[in-house]
Amino acid sequence: MIQIVNADGTGEQKVIASMRARAAAKNSDIEKAVAAVMEDVKARGLEAVEEYSLRFDKTAPYEISRETLDKAYASCPRELIRALEHAADNIRDYNEKLLAKSAEWTSPDGGTVGRVVRGLTRVGVYVPGGTAAYPSSVLMNVVPAKVAGVEEIVMVTPPTENLNDAVLAAAKIAGVDRCIAVGGAQAVAALTYGAGFIPKVDKLVGPGNAFVAAAKRMAYGSLDIDMVAGPSEVLVIADGSADPKFIAADLLSQAEHDKLASAVLLTTSAELAWAVDAEMVRQTGYLSRSEIMEQSVRDFGCAIVCRDLDEAAALANEIAPEHLEIVTEAPRALLPKIRNAGAVFLGAWSPEPLGDYLAGPDHVLPTSGTARFFSPLSVDSFLKTMSVIEYSRDTLAPIQKEIVALAETEKLTAHANSIRVRFE
């Protein structure tokens, strides 16, 4: 089921090239259609949003009432509510421990400097509808924003015939301020520019289909976004001590997301690679999304046999995966060598779905190699900082000539004058 290659400088590079190519592909027709929607909504506001919603979703946008959220919460199985509340508690605790604080201190010159940390004013959260309605994503996007002190969180979700009760229950648990039934590129455009009762936001987060992803790319700059997520991916580093049943299960847990998902094993044991392959075939036989898993593993899955764990770590850093599991005899010993990954899972009892749902760190992670320079969503994503500078006459006087010298070197005479007039 899974291709097995040796790390010989060629085979593994083909795998990396394949992963990057799948994420880079763009549909020009989608781009053009979305650009037209964005411009139309910018020009005509709510009228345009309503027209697109009626065309694509058969329903005009509307506000989802607090009573609807309460009813959805009450209708969900108690076991699900307990799980959602447990997850929300863990996400909240994790982000509270990360929360940056405002601080001031005395500079070497004797002045006061520092920074003020503020939550964003208004954030939009896009939640897909239909088969991709994930209540866990509501918690992962909303709870960190609440911890950051965002003043208003606006959730949008497509106005499907039957809104997903679990998604609405998660919105209630997470503390969403407003829920609006609107989806697609028109929802992104409305949140970017403002459209009637749909407010303009400072940042937009949350997953969506290709149209939503294209709209978020175009919106960036008018507002901030979390990231433009590519297909999901997992990379597992394992040695001969790993249980092939566990490794196969973890690879398939990401392969089931999408036919473009990538599941890669880096191992020092060829024997383990073959055993994982057999386990993947066996487990796929009883799992519900077998067709998706089989295609994603066939097209973008691979087991690479490495000479040692150092080589595996170097390859992992080059790939910079969204999820990285280290399942070795001493997993923490390899952690200092890992520089690029969205989330790292240490040991056989820390499978990737633990992070997807309950551990606390966010499951909104950089994909497609962007873990080289992007970080997971967290409370930091919903904060901004302002620097603070306060000097007195006595602390400015000793350095006035240096500021003037720098300003005059840059031929900014008004800058220099701003200093000089204070000491004439």
Determine the average pLDDT of the residues in 283-305: 94
**Active-site choice (233, 257, 323, 363):** 323
Strands (E) across 42-140 are located at 62-64, 103-106, 112-119, 122-126
How far is Cα 148 from Cα 243, in angstroms, rounded to an integer? 40
How far is Cα 243 from Cα 272, in angstroms, rounded to an integer? 8
CB 273 within 8 A of CB 4: yes
CA-CA-CA-CA torsion for 308, 342, 302, 353, nearest 10 degrees? 110
- How does residue 128 score in pLDDT terms, banded at 50, 70 and 90? very high
Angle at 168 between CA 136 and CA 221, to 5 degrees: 70
Kindly report, residue by residue over 175-214, the tens digit of the pLDDT.
999 999 999 999 999 999 999 999 999 999 999 988 999 9
Determine the average pLDDT of the residues in 62-82: 97
Determine the average pLDDT of the residues in 144-153: 98
Q: What is the pLDDT of residue 23?
A: 62
Whether 291 is catalytic is no
Q: What is the pLDDT of residue 24?
A: 62
Average pLDDT of every residue of the chain = 95
Q: What is the pLDDT of residue 235?
A: 97
**Active-site choice (233, 322, 325, 352):** 322
Q: What is the pLDDT of residue 8?
A: 86
Q: Which of 43-57, 123-137, 334-348 has the lowest mean pLDDT?
A: 123-137
Q: What is the pLDDT of residue 19?
A: 76
How far is Cα 125 from Cα 204, in angstroms, rounded to an integer? 6
Whether 257 is catalytic is no
Q: What is the pLDDT of residue 89?
A: 98
Q: What is the pLDDT of residue 25?
A: 61
CB 207 within 8 A of CB 128: yes
Angle at 317 between CA 256 and CA 235, to 5 degrees: 20
Determine the average pLDDT of the residues in 335-353: 98
